[in-house]
């Protein structure tokens, strides 16, 4: 970023030292009060190694996978949750107690993922998602216990406990310039800012950490502004480095000295997260890169040994297709030192030449980064890699001629971030988030593009999984805050959530974000989310199509022939009833209408007519004559199949998805938002019917 840290003279400040408190991870020492949690449950039936390191089979044994937000150890196998902790869950007058054996990376803190057998003891599998449960952590003997804070705190819980992460699993944290006044942070808070990245901590004359190279990090004005933000339920990240000034890793010539300076900043501001904006000469300086990573690894180990969470992230320059070579080298070095990197944030700006579509460029760079991260952290699942990403454009007119990041670009990037489960969105900077007197010109104090005041902040806030200035609400979650390489193979619960091009494979949450007030329950993020509990679902195959075997569809929207993988962006073709009037064929639902089927965890899109023939108005899907009693709509899902497949095997798969074979009706969500759980792929593939959930 080039319109960056102007070094200015600072005034006299009061020096105050604050010691960072901590929360012991041992249950007996925990200060968090025991509580019963109101939330929701889903189920899974995978088998494999659970997060506690043992083999589990969620189809045959009683167990529970709990949200990543409850896990505190960098090595899940060693987490306190794996040592005799159970969950006692109550629904509909029934109570069961099941052991914690797995992690659910796509669940929010109030959402538990039961094994299939455990779920069935409380509710029929057809429900898929059940809201209105209560649950709590207990010992093997059923005694209530306390765990480190996670997710939804009771109303009135106040500021997050020092040493725990005050950040949700997905959030917006734009940059606030520390060469301005602390009042700037307060103004932004009043405008809706919840999470802020303070830019920048620099060397202030030798190996000494300061804001902007001249203001002590213990400045009481800044500390008071940070406290106010936290009192609203927010938090701050201190960002080290930037495009100018003396980067602290270069200013300090020893690992020990550098670690001490980092500790000073953590203690002064009671931080749980540090950002390192490394670019230019600092990125090219391999000696300082290694020294910085060593110091951070030592600091992180020191903090976490004391029960204080410390996440470290890097903000790095990006090309059109991801990180540059120096950035990749920095991350590989970080991995080699044992540093747990929680996030890699790319600066989607200053590409070196004019870019016509800055929104798409940011998305393309994020996609490239995903591939690069997978080559470094090879044990991580695709959704864990998305959750390891951040994305930071420069709003408005950029300092590279021809680059303009508009409010429309911001909307596209925010939607992409939610769909993929990107952990953090940011932008440079809050101080420019307003229109200039004259549009089209570069300015340090306004965006130079058409916008309302704080419009970029408002847009990016829609990705945050809790709403500002309220007690956190149950919401959808992206994937977990990733752990370092060396983590055991993905857990059984993790494998049931496959990322996709339009859905982040997350949990079926509730309101989703501050920008989706119309989205409730299991409807995902955005969309009207009308739930139909009286849906009769059937399946049709390649062999059933008219003409037989062509997979031709009557109203193509996304596909030229029936198909799809079940993601929000690539839903599976759905056939619906239709009628003719005045020579015009009309579908019961307009072509392009999306549905989500909780029982098979896939999205569908209306593209075909059900009951093809000479008299479509008399087709079975329209008349409902052969549907079960009480059915109000009939949806015919495309199952798949192709030349060379066993027709009987494909038909057997179609029979499995037919609700009549299970004795009743199913739930469908019409016009769902993105972000609901997805098991990606057609219902029939590789010669067999995929598992149904």
Helix 220-231 crosses helix 182-190 at what angle (to 10 degrees)? 10
Residues 6+ apart with CB under 8 A from 547: none
Contact 272, 166 (CB under 8 A): yes
What pLDDT was estimated at residue 33? 30
Q: 470: cis peptide before it, omega within 30°?
A: no
Catalogue the active-site residues.
279
What pLDDT was estimated at residue 147? 57
Say how far apart CA 668 and CA 674 lie, in whole Å: 14
At residue 136, φ and ψ (nearest 5 deg) are: -155, 160
Q: 609 forms bridges with which residues in the sheet?
A: 576
Say how far apart CA 234 and CA 305 lie, in whole Å: 25
Contact 107, 113 (CB under 8 A): yes
**Binned average pLDDT, 10 residues per bin, the chain of 693 residues:** 39 28 27 64 78 82 87 65 88 92 78 92 85 86 60 34 58 95 92 94 94 94 91 89 94 96 95 96 96 96 85 95 96 95 96 90 97 94 93 95 95 94 95 94 95 94 59 26 31 32 24 25 56 83 72 82 90 86 72 87 89 50 75 88 84 75 70 82 86 58
Q: Which of 642, 662, 658 is nearest to 650 (CA)?
A: 642
Q: Based on C-alpha coordinates, what's the Rg of the chain?
A: 26
Q: Is the pTM of this model over 0.85?
A: no
What pLDDT was estimated at residue 84? 83
CA atoms within 13 Å, Cβ hemisphere of 518? 9
Residue 295, H or E segment: helix 286-305
What pLDDT was estimated at residue 676? 80
């Amino acid at each position: 970023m080039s319109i960056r840290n102007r070094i200015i003279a600072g005034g006299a400040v009061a020096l105050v030292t604050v010691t960072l408190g901590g929360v012991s991870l041992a249950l007996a020492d925990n200060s968090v009060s025991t509580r019963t949690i109101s939330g929701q449950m889903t189920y899974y039936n995978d088998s494999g190694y659970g997060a506690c390191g043992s083999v589990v089979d969620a189809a045959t044994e009683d167990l529970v996978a709990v949200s990543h937000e409850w896990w505190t150890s960098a090595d899940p196998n060693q987490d306190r949750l794996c040592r005799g902790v159970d969950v006692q869950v109550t629904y509909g007058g029934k109570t069961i107690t099941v052991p914690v054996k797995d992690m659910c990376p796509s669940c929010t803190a109030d959402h538990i993922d039961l094994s299939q057998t455990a779920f069935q003891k409380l509710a029929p599998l057809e429900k898929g998602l059940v809201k209105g449960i209560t649950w709590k952590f207990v010992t093997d003997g059923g005694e209530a216990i306390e765990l480190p804070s996670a997710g939804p705190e009771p109303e009135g819980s106040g500021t997050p406990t020092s040493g725990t992460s005050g950040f949700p699993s997905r959030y917006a944290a734009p940059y606030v310039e520390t060469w301005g006044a602390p009042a700037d942070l307060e103004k932004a808070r009043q405008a809706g800012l919840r999470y802020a990245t303070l830019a920048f901590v620099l060397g202030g004359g030798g190996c000494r950490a300061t804001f902007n190279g001249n203001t002590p990090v213990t400045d009481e004005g800044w500390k008071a502004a940070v406290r106010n933000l936290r009192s609203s339920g927010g938090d701050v990240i201190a960002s080290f480095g930037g495009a100018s000034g003396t980067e602290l890793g270069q200013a300090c010539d020893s690992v020990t000295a550098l670690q001490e300076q980092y500790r000073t900043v953590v203690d002064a501001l009671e931080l749980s997260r540090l950002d390192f904006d490394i670019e230019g000469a600092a990125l090219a300086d391999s000696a300082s890169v290694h020294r910085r990573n060593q110091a951070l690894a030592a600091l992180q180990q020191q903090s976490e040994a004391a029960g204080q969470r410390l996440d470290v992230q890097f903000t790095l320059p990006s090309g059109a297709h991801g990180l540059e070579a120096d950035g990749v080298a920095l991350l590989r070095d970080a991995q080699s030192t044992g540093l747990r990197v929680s996030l890699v944030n790319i600066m989607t700006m200053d590409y070196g030449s004019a870019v016509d579509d800055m929104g798409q460029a940011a998305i393309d760079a994020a996609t490239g980064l995903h591939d690069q991260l997978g080559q470094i952290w090879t044990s991580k699942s695709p959704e864990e890699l998305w959750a390891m990403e951040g994305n930071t454009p420069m709003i408005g007119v950029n300092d590279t001629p021809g680059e303009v990041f508009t409010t429309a670009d911001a909307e596209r990037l925010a939607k992409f971030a939610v769909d993929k489960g990107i952990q953090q969105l940011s932008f440079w900077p809050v101080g420019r988030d307003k229109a200039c007197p004259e549009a089209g010109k570069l300015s340090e104090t306004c965006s130079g593009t058409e916008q309302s005041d704080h419009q970029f902040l408002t847009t990016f806030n829609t990705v945050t999984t809790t709403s500002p200035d309220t007690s956190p609400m149950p919401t959808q979650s992206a994937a977990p805050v990733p752990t370092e390489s060396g983590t055991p193979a993905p857990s059984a619960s993790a494998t049931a959530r496959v990322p996709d091009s339009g859905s982040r494979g997350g949990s079926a949450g509730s309101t989703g974000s501050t920008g989706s007030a119309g989205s409730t329950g299991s409807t995902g993020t955005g969309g009207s989310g009308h739930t139909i509990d009286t849906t009769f679902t059937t399946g049709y195959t390649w062999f059933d199509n008219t003409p037989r075997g062509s997979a031709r569809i009557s109203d193509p929207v996304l596909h030229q022939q029936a198909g799809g993988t079940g993601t929000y962006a690539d839903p599976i073709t759905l056939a619906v009833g239709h009628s003719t009037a005045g020579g015009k064929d009309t579908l019961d639902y307009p072509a392009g209408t999306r549905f989500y089927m909780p029982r098979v965890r896939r999205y569908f899109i209306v593209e075909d007519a059900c009951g093809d023939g000479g008299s479509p108005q008399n087709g079975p899907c329209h008349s409902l004559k052969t549907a079960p009693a009480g059915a109000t709509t009939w949806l015919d899902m495309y199952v798949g199949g192709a030349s060379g497949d066993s027709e009987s095997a494909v038909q057997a798969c179609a029979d499995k998805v037919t609700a009549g074979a299970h004795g009743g009706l199913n739930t469908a969500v019409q016009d769902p938002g993105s972000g609901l759980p997805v098991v990606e792929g057609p219902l029939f593939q590789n010669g067999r019917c995929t598992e149904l959930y």
